[in-house]
Amino acid sequence: MFYREAGDFKTSYRDDGQSFPIKLDRYGYYAILAVAAVVVPFAINDYWANAVLLPFLIYAIAAIGLNILVGYAGQVSLGTGGFMAVGAYAVYKLMTSFPEISIVIHILLAGGITALVGIAFGLPSLRIKGFYLAVATLAAQFFLVWLFNKVPWFYNYSASGQINAPERTVLGWAVTGPAATPSAKYLICLAFVVLLAWVARNLTRGMVGRKWMAIRDMDIAAEIIGVNPLTAKLTAFGVSSFFIGVAGALLFAVYLGAAEVTEAFGINKSFLILFMVIIGGLGSIFGSFAGAAFLVLLPVLLKNLLVGGLGWPTNLAAHIELMIVGALIIFFLIVEPHGLARLWQLVKEKLRLWPFPH
Amino acid sequence: MDQLLYASEVIVNGLMTGVMYSLVALGFVLIYKASGVFNYAQGVMALFAALTLVGIMQGQVPFAHLINAAFGTHLENFGWNVPALLAILLTAAVMVLLAIAIEKLVLQHLVGQEPIILFMATIGLAYFLEGLGDVMWGADVRTLDVGLPQGISETIETATNDWLGYGFFIDRLDIWATIIAAVLVAALVAFSQYTKQGRAMRAVADDHQAALSVGISLQFIWIMVWSIAGFVALVAGIMWGTKSGVQFSLSLIALKALPVLMLGGFTSIPGAIVGGLIIGVGEKLFEFIMSSPDLAGSWFGFTISATENWFAYVLALIFLVFRPQGLFGERIIERV
């Protein structure tokens, strides 16, 4: 009754090709954006920013990136942590080498550098498929982490081997370093999320995205109908790595402030992002957000419930969290292999008919 | 000459490590062949088996941590110690129960799904088992001693010292691991060649539908295969647990077994063994050459260390580009 497309007439091709063709979707999107940009920055505090909002936004970018690769192009990657590390170390080197240039440009450049690295590690995907590729991307994960650990040039020869983000400002507001306020950090992340999600949405429904999906569904058939697997696979790796690199740069510079590569960008991060994509829904931008929100909120919720509510020790809560995450992944794969995004779609279908089912 | 002797010692030790990798890789191959599932949880199964074994041997109360937290009790131990052999049998029984649970709760519902979905389900399983192991037995690092000999073998050291003028350092545990792995492989091969169940297992591996049509129960075969994989995991867990303590990093050997499988091919038992040996020798030798100032230092002008972290993966990656199906894998034929 309330969610419907009747009466929403499109009189031009431009109208028909909008990011959100249904009016209610579009208004909902604007409303969420308005709340996120205008209301949240004033209501935000340190706990909410650090425990929920910043990780959610940053992981959402990474999840969109991985979703492009796994969900749209069908190339399973376990190297996300390594690529995030590339973004983080690229932005660190750029920040410290060219302090006069804006950090926004640095973050975008870091994404570009990660894209190049991603393309290099994506080259074997032309020969290797399926599991073999998934395992081959582990080479990227372990090699990159080792490289940032062992070559002192990357961490500017600091004694601890850590990298620390110096203070940088955007429009006069500090966004990195200890002086940055939660709302400034939040807003810069939000800006990147909105921009990149828009790019991803339009890439995936355009020609590039269709080529990716053709490769995913059956690569030989796609090749026969004229999709060049070389460009399709490498663009998927490049675009995906760009997103993941930006996420890594934000994670280090804005969220963590200081990072040690094995701890911040280990294999666990790769799996975390992969789970976000699976739980959220393969091949869906909305799913990437849903998955990121779910896996960021779940530990916070469980911790509050078990440690705060029942008074259990934190390590026990952490173990139970592992069990729940594992069980949920299996549950989702059994019940709904298309993840939260599919559930959301079903809800929308139902809402369209409600309350008159015929 | 000295360098050559060091290198040959490194090679021998690499072979021994390779056997340990092969042990984990074997579990993967068994399950993959029989059910087409790439079981990422194999490493965590080894950890879980080792944790259970230690827990039973020390007479720990399972879930003590959880019970204590939930009911405010102070349970720790039953107060007895179980002899190693009995504990191993009990752990094997636990692994069979686990196999049944996995078949009933997970695999049965995922029949006919794409392989990649099954793979991801086993990643979920790995997380679940990791959490379960910690909740059941606690997360402390424990030592495991089931009576296997450990330490440097003096016999070999003196023998090589007399013969070559340089004593080889070889861990007795590694020698035992090699022997046990050899016995295990021989037993598995005999089982799959000469017993009724083993033949049924190979039939299922060959063609599910055809196997079903001649009256083989898929469910039973899957449970059996997962049990065998659980048993292999137990053996691997005992070896690795004795070597480096029972702790979380034990489950990471699964990641090390992946390049072994890629080299050897997912479907080949000899491939798992040969792949393990190649990776074991390769990574030890590469580390030895690259970190030695006399070799890499004089050839390239620099040395690097801790290459064991990534060497196996990069080797497998480069290898696969030239031979995508691995050394012994079945040829990949693609059709539209």
d(CA A348, CA B9): 66
Measured in degrees and rounded to the nearest 5, phi and psi for residue B126 equal: -60, -45
pLDDT of residue B308: 75
pLDDT of residue A110: 92
Nearest chain A Cα distance for residue B180, angstroms: 28
Residue position matching structure tokens 């399709």: A232
Question: Which range is least confidently modeled, A198-202, A332-336, B267-271?
Answer: B267-271
Nearest chain B Cα distance for residue A71, angstroms: 12
pLDDT of residue A332: 81
d(CA B6, CA A223): 52
Q: Are the beta carbons of A334 and B316 separated by less than 8 Å?
A: no
d(CA A70, CA A100): 37
Nearest chain B Cα distance for residue A42, angstroms: 38
For B313, the token pair is 């993966």
What does pLDDT average to over chain B? 80
Residue A96 burial by Cβ neighbours in a 10 Å radius (0-12, 13-18, 19+)? middle
Q: Please name the amino acid found at residue B110.
A: L
User: Contact A257/A249 with Cβ under 8 angstroms?
Assistant: no
C-alpha closest to that of A87 among A201, A254, A276: A254
What does pLDDT average to over chain A? 85
State pLDDT tens for residues A50-67: 888 889 999 999 999 999
Q: Which residues of B touch A294 (CB under 8 A)?
A: none
* ipTM score over 0.90, yes or no: no
Where in chain A are the domains? Answer: 22-266
Determine the Cα angle at A80 with ends A62 and A231, to 5°.
85
What is the distance, to the nearest Å, from the Cα of residue B114 to the centroid of all Cα atoms in its chain?
25
User: Contact A264/A251 with Cβ under 8 angstroms?
Assistant: yes
Q: Are the beta carbons of A323 and B66 separated by less than 8 Å?
A: no
Measured in degrees and rounded to the nearest 5, phi and psi for residue B174 equal: -65, -40
Residue position matching structure tokens 């579009």: A26
- By DSSP bridging, strand A258-259 and strand A173-174 are unpaired
What is the distance, to the nearest Å, from the Cα of residue A125 to the centroid of all Cα atoms in its chain?
22
Q: What is the pLDDT along chain B (336 residues), one digit of tens a residue?
A: 677 777 788 888 888 888 888 888 888 887 787 777 788 888 888 888 888 888 888 877 777 777 777 777 777 777 677 777 888 888 899 889 998 998 888 888 887 777 777 888 888 898 898 888 888 887 777 777 776 777 676 776 777 777 766 667 777 777 888 888 888 888 888 887 888 888 888 888 777 788 888 888 888 888 888 888 888 888 888 888 887 777 777 777 777 888 888 787 777 777 888 888 888 888 888 888 877 777 666 777 677 777 777 888 888 888 877 877 777 766 667 666
Of A139, A313, A334, the CB nearest to B317: A139
State pLDDT tens for residues A259-307: 888 888 888 889 889 888 888 888 888 889 999 998 888 888 888 887 7
Q: Which residues of A touch B258 (CB under 8 A)?
A: 135, 138
